[in-house]
Amino acid sequence: MKLWQKNYQVDQEIERFTVGQDRELDVALAPYDIQGSLAHIKMLCKIGLLETDELAQLEKALKRLYTIVEAGDFVIEPGIEDVHSQVEHWLTKELGEVGKKIHSGRSRNDQVLVDLKLYLRTEIRALITSIEELFGTLIQLSEQHKDKLMPGYTHLQVAMVSSFGLWFGAYAESLVDDLQQWQSTFKIINQNPLGSAAGYGSSFPLDRKLTTALLGFNDLNYNVVHAQMGRGKSELFMAFSLAGTAHTLGKMAMDICLFINQNFNFIAFPDELTTGSSIMPHKKNPDVFEIIRGRCNQLISLPAQVSMLTTNLPSGYHREFQLLKEVIFPAIHSLKDCLGIATYALQQIQIKEDILAEDKYRYLYSVEEVNKEVLSGTPFRDAYKIIGEQIADGSFDPQREVAHTHEGSLGNLCLPEIQAKWARVWADFKFEYMDEKLAALLAP
């Protein structure tokens, strides 16, 4: 069945190639296609395109189909090219002529846009929930290990004294920045395109504000051409947010791969979290974090993939857009997987004590000694020269003490402030409104 079927048959090879992976990927959109259809038929009834009894029949059937989807029993049958066609086909089998009325006032173009936006905002919520779990783990580890010192590096050279509290806290606060980016993406995606039809509106007197409220969208994509241009743009913003979080996670994974190396030997994990070598019996490899690093590198390239699929396309729908699902859907699952395993592994990390006791780290304290000279009245440039000469002639012998008190430093990690920053951003998502509207839409 094809919603656009006319009095000729498409060549089977053309059909196979153009449908691509849509049938497999569209299963993920099934619950959202039903949600969008429920809102649409309520609106059709209000404007007189459906009778009250027809609305009741369609609502009952769609909610029954929704339970089939939730049970994992929904399939797109052979010969049916996408989720929209399958839902309409199922309704027509169940209800006859009434099922054929559901498509009035919309196109597959705005239908798939609604499905994607409902899907993406749900996945954003799942992703930031996983990010929140990692954030909480990092905050806890930062507090737990705040007094354990470690080297800080610039240019991969020993630079200044740092701490595990500072290191864990840095990635926690980086996740707050990522959350702010997710919030921007969520707000852009959480706008209703339904009623834009093929991108040029409809001669029916559609009530687009009603479907916006019914689906719990924050706002409406008003201009119908602009609404259709959301295809590709929504995926691009999603790709930027996926890449941003991957940037944080990948950098942390790289640090861990360095720190677990025997030449650093700062951290360890239980043996069961590492893998071995087929030839070297001593090996305990951090494969989990190497794979996280690799997957995050893939995700960082995602905005470029989305951009290249949509670059130089004029306004209006183009078939390339369906290929976006093939890169975005797996990317979402990949990041969720990486976040989950990173949180799981970090909860079992082992931190080495007294790392800075080794003589090779004594130069870490050079800045502390310069600052002491300055505090005693020596101009900074002269103090710098004094300590530099001591290092050069081998007489440098620091006291190995640090006294950092300013905000965000070794002795003042500002973890409560970072947690408060997270809470402020999280609260602005306002998921409760979305939950309330969808619950009412799907109520028996």
Same domain, 170 and 264: yes
Q: Is residue 2 part of a domain?
A: no
Same domain, 324 and 372: no
Same domain, 250 and 317: yes
Q: Is residue 294 part of a domain?
A: yes
Same domain, 32 and 63: yes
Among 239, 270, 268, 259, smallest CA distance to 171 is for: 259
Same domain, 378 and 409: yes
Q: How many domains does the chain have?
A: 3
Q: Is residue 287 part of a domain?
A: yes
In the structure, what pLDDT confidence band is assigned to residue 4 with cuts at 50, 70 and 90? very low
Q: Is residue 90 part of a domain?
A: yes
pLDDT in tens, 335-345: 999 999 999 99
Quick one: three-class SS letters along 118-160? HHHHHHHHHHHHHHHHHHHHHHHHHHHCCCCEEEEEECCEEEE
Same domain, 350 and 436: yes
pLDDT in tens, 383-411: 999 999 999 999 999 988 888 999 999 99
Same domain, 387 and 422: no
Same domain, 403 and 421: no
The overall average pLDDT reported for the chain is 92
For residue 310, the domain's CATH number is: 1.20.200.10
Measured CA to CA, the distance from residue 26 to residue 35 in angstroms comes to: 14
Question: To the nearest whole percent, how much of the chain has pLDDT over 70?
Answer: 94
Same domain, 71 and 113: no
Same domain, 23 and 78: yes
Among 178, 171, 158, smallest CA distance to 413 is for: 171
In the structure, what pLDDT confidence band is assigned to residue 292 with cuts at 50, 70 and 90? very high
Same domain, 264 and 233: yes
Same domain, 53 and 128: no
Q: Is residue 257 part of a domain?
A: yes
Q: Is residue 26 part of a domain?
A: yes
For residue 372, what are the domain limits? 358-413
Q: Is residue 83 part of a domain?
A: yes
pLDDT in tens, 33-50: 999 999 999 999 999 999
